[in-house]
Structure 1
Amino acid sequence: MSIQEKPRCQKGFTLVELMVALVIGLLIVFGATQLFVSTKVSFNRMGELAERQESLRYFVDVVSLDIRSSGVENISDDNSGELELGYTTRTEDPYCVSGGDLVKVKYSYLGGEVLVDYDCGSGWAGAQPIVSGLEDADFIYVDSDGYVQVSLRFSPGLGDSVDDRSFEFLVANRESVTR
């Protein structure tokens, strides 16, 4: 009696096939990780830009209102990042919630922040930060034209160029425009 040999059946994968599958799996995991990291960086960057835009928008609104409504004879800058505005007609002002009429508002740059302080007739209330994360801020009053030039430069963020961080705007005083 002769025993016939049965054909051999493959039972599993060869070492080469396992290594190829492992490399393909690692490439897929590496690609997914790269996608996650780049998405996270983009998300963080968008958050920084949104915060910067919100700060800048609020700052422009507040400073513009204060400069426009101040008395033309009561605007002074000291060329060191400080702007002082005086008022004669600003009553029932949001700065003066405890009563009194707004007499002066002072903006100053100190330690990466623009601070605002106000006087409602009883002395300065105490400076409060209005925008932070700055590298520089400057206020220049151009008396001959009656406007204030405001320059801000934010601290560097992810991939910011100097142009992306610098903002400059002009605000005309209402009294000086009509004279």
Structure 2
Amino acid sequence: MMPLRDPALKQSGFTLVELMVALAVGLIILLGAGQLLLMSFQTFRQIELMSNRQAALTFATETLVRDIRRSDIIAFNSGNRELKVEFPNNGDLSACSAGAQVERIYRLSSRMVSAKEGWSLDMGQRCLSDTGGMSYEPLVTSFTEGGFSAEETIEGVWVIRFRLMANRDGSLMDEFEFRAVNRNQAVK
């Protein structure tokens, strides 16, 4: 005669239902972790883009402030939105001799760089003794159309305004305003 088995000892593994439930819970956890990873990557990319734009904007601002501070002549043409500064060369432009007058013009690009980047702030420079034309190079992108202006508020104090795209489709914008003092006019 065979010994009878105890029913409690009969089951020695997981049932199909238990395996299916465990797989479903594991899949939900895995999908949640994947979504979290994707969101983290997108956030990192946005922060990196904003950081790059902020660095470029800081560079453009510092360049403008430096040029306004030391300029002999400053003029903003509101018709074509060009800021023109003239100052003596102190090694900025190797094509000019030391002390020669340098002319720099800041303006927005004539057309949009791309739908994602908007317009760029361009800078052109030349020696005033040169009769040749001026070539322009972009300093920073992400400007809205007409997003660069300057005005002299009081003698020697210039207010510069930037209007940048806050998101890629250009529907939102950030506005920045800073002041630069022309030392030559402020001392007079």
- TM-score of the pair, normalised by structure 2: 0.80
Equivalent position amino acid for 1:57 in 2 = T
C-alpha distance after superposition, 1:61-101 (max 9, x if no partner): 11011111111xx22111142111123xx12331x212332
Is this contact kept in 2: 1:102–1:118, CA < 8 A?
A: no
> Using the alignment, how far apart are the partners of 1:61 and 1:34 within structure 2?
40
Q: Percent identity?
A: 26
Give unpaired runs (5+ residues) of structure 2.
113-118
Asked whether 1:97 is paired with 2:94, we answer yes
Letter in 1 for 2:125: Y
Query: 1:52 aligns to what?
Result: 53
Residues 33-88 of structure 1 show CA distances to partners (whole Å, capped at 9, x for unaligned) of 122012102211220121011101111111011111111xx22111142111123x
Amino acid paired to 2:60: F
Once superposed, what is the RMSD of the aligned Cα atoms? 2.3
TM, length-normalised to structure 1: 0.83
Output the CA distance in 2 between the equivalents of 1:162 and 1:20. Answer: 46
Uncovered stretches (5+) of structure 1, i.e. residues with no partner = none
- Residue of structure 1 in register with 2:115 after alignment: none
The residue that corresponds to 1:145 in the other structure is 155
What is the 5 A alignment of 1:18-33?
18-33=19-34
Q: Assess if the C-alpha contact under 8 Å between 2:89 and 2:102 holds in 1.
A: no
Q: Give the aligned residue type for 2:163.
A: R
- 1:106 is matched by which residue type in structure 2? I
Q: Please name the residue that 2:39 is paired with.
A: 38
Following superposition of structure 1 onto structure 2, how do residues 28-177 of structure 1 map, counting pairs within 5 Å? 28-71=29-72, 74-79=73-78, 80-87=80-87, 90-94=88-92, 96-100=93-97, 101-110=100-109, 111=112, 112-120=119-127, 121-122=129-130, 123-136=132-145, 137-142=147-152, 144-157=154-167, 162=172, 165-177=174-186
1: CA distance, partners of 2:176 / 2:126? 28
Counterpart residue type for residue 33 of structure 1: G
What amino acid is aligned across from residue 140 of structure 1 in structure 2?
Answer: A
Given residue 167 of structure 1, which amino acid in structure 2 is its aligned partner? F
State the alpha-carbon separation in 2 of the partners of residues 125 and 78 from structure 1.
17
Question: SS of the residue aligned with 1:133?
Answer: strand
Residue 143 to residue 39, structure 1, CA distance change in 2 (3 Å) = closer
C-alpha distance in structure 2 between counterparts of 1:51 and 1:25, whole Å: 39
1:156-178 deviations in Å (ceiling 9; x for gaps) = 337x9957x32111111112212
